[in-house]
Amino acid sequence: MAEPTTPISDPYAYLNIVKNPDGSITRDLTNFPCATATPDPSPENPAVSKDLPVNHSKSTWLRLYLPSSAVTDSISSQKLPIVVYYHGGGFILCSVDMQPFHDFCSEMARDLNAIVVSPSYRLAPEHRLPAAYGDGVEALEWIKTSDDEWIKSHADFSNVFLMGTSAGGNLAYNVGLRSADSVSELSPLQIRGLILHHPFFGGEERSGSEIRLVNDQVCPPIVTDVMWDLSLPVGADRDHEYSNPTVGDGSDDLEKIGGLRWKVMMIGGEDDPMIDRQIDVAKLMKKKGVEVVEQYTDGDAHGAEIRDPCKRKTLFVSIKNFISSLL
């Protein structure tokens, strides 16, 4: 019989952060090894990658991934779909170049045969929401106007997908809402769908899954409460539209997403305390006329495929089928 797990009692210690008197936080990144970009094709690298600046004044940048096969096959002129991938970290932690996110994006570029663009965004509490959403939209502007050779030679601007894990999934959702309201400004980029991988949503009243999984060892409510407290606008509670999209019957921009025929893939794990919220957001989107494909996996905790490389192949097959259905 498995030993009972000890509930997480100090979320700040669990997250390795210290809150400073000025409202900022000090992050201990010892447990977050980073990976350098891999610009040269080699058998060890599923994809080539490179780092490019987005906005110098905000210190934002992105990592661009291209399947190694696209580099080594000089004859092929095939244009590849673009997956814009926003990393997770509760809006307060992590970065594009963290080893698990780098490996995830490299393998995804190879398995989907797609260009993956992974933009950085400013973190809270130093830059509270909606700062990250603005950075997410700005990354789309960068792609649209880029003169990068990989983008010019290989990117199919008519097939763009917004994707993210955890806070990145929330970011992809909110960038999607903003983009639906300004489609003409993004031209020639054409968003075809959103891929929300274990998206980070919250609310004041505990959901059934948050109660059931109150002592979850990966992302329990006591930890996500702190993340929302540090990332939402000052004075806002967890029923703010950024954290709880179902409040007030949701955003009117969801109907625009439905009208644009964008399709949404909602991916979750049954052992994630946020699973009920993800199901509720999917239900809201369908009510607003958005076509939603839902995939919830038994036994998967929050962000399972980021932490366990063995789970990625199955995920990428599902995502590839989703993308193929829209091409």
CA distance 113 to 47: 10
The one catalytic residue in 87, 198, 240, 302 is 302
Q: Which helix (H) or strand (E) holds 267?
A: strand 263-269
Cite the DSSP H helix spans in the chain. Answer: 11-15, 68-72, 99-112, 131-145, 149-154, 167-180, 183-186, 208-212, 221-231, 253-259, 275-287, 304-307, 312-324
The helix/strand/coil state of 194 is: strand
- 302 as an active site residue: the answer is yes
Instruction: Write the DSSP string, 136-147.
Output: HHHHHHHHHH--
Query: Given the structure tokens 């997908």, which residue do they identify?
Result: 161
Torsion of CA 313, 109, 182, 158, to 10 degrees: -110
Among this protein's residues, is 229 annotated catalytic?
no
Catalytic: which of 97, 216, 271, 272?
Answer: 272
- Please name the residue that has the structure tokens 């797609």: 114
Is 166 among the residues known to form the active site?
yes
96 contacts 119 by C-beta, under 8 angstroms: yes
Tell me which residue has tokens 């609310």.
203
- 54: helix, strand or coil: strand
Find out whether 66 and 154 touch, Cβ atoms under 8 Å. yes
For residue 289, count other CB atoms closer than 10 A to its CB.
13
What is the amino acid identity at position 309? P
Q: What's the CA gap between 248 and 246, in Å, rounded?
A: 6
Catalytic residue chosen out of the listed positions 49, 106, 118, 166 = 166
Strand-pair partners of 115: 82
**Residues involved in catalysis:** 166, 272, 302
